């Protein structure tokens, strides 16, 4: 089980990166994150949907209602311009923390 704080910190960067490869919808995002993490990241829908709603209200992503081949309704999300900017910022910040942590483990400064 991944720590709650780490889930919170990684959710938005992961969603943005996923959507940068093309539009997707909630359920599929959960499946893809699980697959890409070897089953270790198991997001719940109760966690994901509020995140998507917040990101949409902040203008990072936009949504449209669509249908699957079988006629089931889906809400497809895609990146907006601000979302791409946010994604770049996230990557910078992750790199920073990661290098500080790596430096500590090796006894080096950034």
Partner DNA sequence: CACGATACATAGAGTCGTTATGTATGTCAA
Partner DNA sequence: TTGACATACATAACGACTCTATGTATCGTG
Interface residues with a second copy (CB under 8 A) are 2-3, 5-6, 8-10, 12-14, 17-18, 20-21, 33, 35-38, 40-41, 90-91, 93-94, 96-98, 100-101, 103-105, 107-110
What distance, in Å, lies between the first and last C-alpha atoms of the chain? 30
Assigned token pair, 90: 């996230």
Considering only CA atoms, give the Rg of the chain. Answer: 16
Report if residue 101 touches DNA, rule: CB under 7 A.
Answer: no
> DSSP label at 40?
-
- Please tell me the distance from the alpha carbon of residue 76 to that of residue 63, in angstroms, as a whole number: 5
Q: Under the criterion CB under 7 A, does residue 15 sit at the interface with DNA?
A: no
CA distance 83 to 66: 21
x-or-dash pattern for DNA, window 40-59, by CB under 7 A?
A: ---xxxxx-xxxxxx-----
- Does 26 interact with DNA (rule: CB under 7 A)? yes
Positions touching DNA (CB under 7 A) are: 2, 4-5, 7-8, 11, 25-28, 31, 43-47, 49-54, 68, 70-76
């Amino acid at each position: 089980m991944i720590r709650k704080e780490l889930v919170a910190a990684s959710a938005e960067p992961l969603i943005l990166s996923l959507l940068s490869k093309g539009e997707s919808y909630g359920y599929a995002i959960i499946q893809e994150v699980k697959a890409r993490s070897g089953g270790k990241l198991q997001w719940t829908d109760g966690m994901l949907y509020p995140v998507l709603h917040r990101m949409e209200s902040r203008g990072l992503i936009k949504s449209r209602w669509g249908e699957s081949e079988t006629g089931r309704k889906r809400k497809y999300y895609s990146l907006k311009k601000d979302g791409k900017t946010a994604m770049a910022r996230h990557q910078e910040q992750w790199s920073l923390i990661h290098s500080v942590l790596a430096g500590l483990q090796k006894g080096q400064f950034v």
